[in-house]
Amino acid sequence: MTEKTRIVIVGGGAGGLELATRLGRKFRQQPSISVLLVDKQPFHVWKPLFHEVASGSLDIDMDGVDYRAHAANHGFEFQLGALAGLDRVNRKIQLCPLIDDNGDVFVPQRTINYDILVLAIGSVCNDFSVPGVREHCFTLDSAADANHFHEMLLNHFLRMKAFGREEPLSVVIVGGGATGVELAAELYKITDYLPVYGFPTIDRGSLTVHVIEASDRILKSLPTHISDKATRILTGLGAKLMTNAVVASISSNAVILKDGKKISADVVVWCAGVKCQDVLRNIDGLTTNRVNQIVVDQGLRSVDDKFIYALGDCAAFTQKDGSQVPPRAQSAHQMAACVYRNIHNQLNGSPSIRFQYSDRGSLVSFADYSTVGVLAGLVGKTFFVEGGIAKYLYISLYRLHQIALHGVLKTALLALVGRINRRLRPPLKLH
């Protein structure tokens, strides 16, 4: 270690920001140790809520966490930037240049020294090399992507209002996982609320939502009765679900399936699977898998470098039964806690602890219409929940994330402010 130990965390998602916060609090009074967080966005929004940003139910300007302010309050540094490369010999990372809206470089490529590096840059949509996805599809890889989708959606409805368009807006969502089905419900929520705000001709009939899933049912990773419940909710709202449907290509106005069927589309959102960013693929010789995850040992350190950890979606951790830890927010939360302890142990010369993933279940929210899910790990059983109890538990997951970032008191105040704002602000962001 150098005279001043520098811990660098790349990625401020659920796991990365929680880890930076805990380490910052731990070492803020120790000048010999510094903690730096790097992220390509200036603010944090909990990723499971990106579909609410896309619909306008969540305003990133009001509900996002500003990294600089949070860093100042919790004893760590923040730098804006995206990972460009890694030099393991000299223990440096390279960051991409910062470019303004005009395409001009205002901060050139930089290098940052580290003693301990944590890679937590999350995942992006996997296009599976399907032609047209990059050119014609929206994704929800970031809060900025989700906000861009929201602006586009409002513009579509504004055009419908201005020109009296009679045919419905056709939105095709590719991928019937949690993100896809939650987004579908949020879209219908928009049509329920817009008439109050100057769109009298907009209703559920103004929107056609197709959800395309390659497997035999939506929410394939959850029990069948959850899938069946979700199917009833979405079809009741008006969504058209297509299972065992594989996308062959995307054009500017249609989705073409492998069986030749063509689905007209004004908007296509790609939610079909995830992978890690290409920058991680065998980065400076680190072992990665086919979706660019860094292969880690039982303590979440790279199998090739004891000074590099990985957590969250970009970590390939093999459990005792041979399965991989799924890319979920609860995984990142648990991994952040383990890496926190192992960095502390490494600095003290103590052995690392073994990471053990505990599946707490899954909850899926259908906007204001319903919430369903399963809870696991309770006295060795799994419980089905829905309705008000499930909605409360769904919100509680976000509150637990906020507690990890802000503490109990501030989270309670944020919850109170949120309830007040629901009385004072429109239920949707209208710009």
At 30-76, the pLDDT tens digits run: 999 999 999 999 999 999 899 999 988 888 877 889 999 999 999 99
Do 52 and 93 form a contact (C-beta atoms < 8 A)?
no
Percentage of the chain surpassing pLDDT 90?
Answer: 68
**Among 348, 376, 394, where does a domain finish?**
348
Within this chain, do residues 232 and 248 fall inside the same structural domain, yes or no?
yes
**Residue 253 and residue 265: Cα distance in Å, rounded?**
5
Question: Would you say residue 151 lies in a domain?
Answer: yes
CA distances from 411 to 12, 16, 156, 392, 400 (A): 19, 19, 36, 16, 9
DSSP H or E stretch at residue 216: none
Question: Would you say residue 201 lies in a domain?
Answer: yes
Question: Would you say residue 405 lies in a domain?
Answer: yes
**Among 309, 327, 348, where does a domain finish?**
348
Q: Quick one: pLDDT at residue 160?
A: 85
Question: Would you say residue 154 lies in a domain?
Answer: yes
**Residue 154 and residue 194: Cα distance in Å, rounded?**
10
- At 114 the three-state DSSP class reads coil
Rounded to a whole number, what is the distance in angstroms from the first to the last CA of the chain? 50
Mean pLDDT across 83-93: 97
Q: How many domains does the chain divide into?
A: 3
Whether pLDDT at 199 is above 80: yes
Residue 132 pLDDT class (50, 70, 90 cuts): very high
Lowest mean pLDDT among 279-293, 325-339, 407-421: 407-421
Residue 401 pLDDT class (50, 70, 90 cuts): very high
Within this chain, do residues 413 and 386 fall inside the same structural domain, yes or no?
yes
Lowest mean pLDDT among 299-303, 350-354, 396-400, 408-412: 396-400
Do 230 and 219 form a contact (C-beta atoms < 8 A)?
yes
Read off the pLDDT of residues 212-240 as tens digits, 9 standing for 90 and up: 999 999 999 888 989 999 999 999 999 99
Within this chain, do residues 138 and 266 fall inside the same structural domain, yes or no?
yes
Question: Would you say residue 188 lies in a domain?
Answer: yes
Within this chain, do residues 251 and 217 fall inside the same structural domain, yes or no?
yes
Whether pLDDT at 2 is above 60: no
Q: Quick one: pLDDT at residue 339?
A: 98
Q: Quick one: pLDDT at residue 196?
A: 85
Within this chain, do residues 216 and 295 fall inside the same structural domain, yes or no?
no
Within this chain, do residues 244 and 301 fall inside the same structural domain, yes or no?
no
Whether pLDDT at 176 is above 90: yes
Q: Which of 172-181, 192-201, 374-383 has the highest mean pLDDT?
A: 172-181
Within this chain, do residues 296 and 318 fall inside the same structural domain, yes or no?
yes
Q: How far is CA 238 from the centre of its chain?
A: 26
Q: Containing domain of residue 141, as a range?
A: 133-270
Residue of 289, 310, 288, 281 whose CA lies nearest to 298: 310
CATH code assigned at 169: 3.50.50.60
Q: Quick one: pLDDT at residue 77?
A: 97
Q: Quick one: pLDDT at residue 292?
A: 94
Question: Would you say residue 143 lies in a domain?
Answer: yes
Q: Quick one: pLDDT at residue 1?
A: 45
Q: Quick one: pLDDT at residue 165?
A: 67
Residue of 352, 226, 363 whose CA lies nearest to 296: 352
Q: Quick one: pLDDT at residue 379?
A: 53
**Among 244, 270, 296, where does a domain finish?**
270
Within this chain, do residues 147 and 252 fall inside the same structural domain, yes or no?
yes
Whether pLDDT at 200 is above 70: yes
**Residue 217 and residue 227: Cα distance in Å, rounded?**
7
Residue of 3, 5, 15, 9 whose CA lies nearest to 331: 15
Question: 56 CB contacts (<8 Å, ≥6 apart)?
Answer: 150, 153, 154, 190, 428, 429, 430
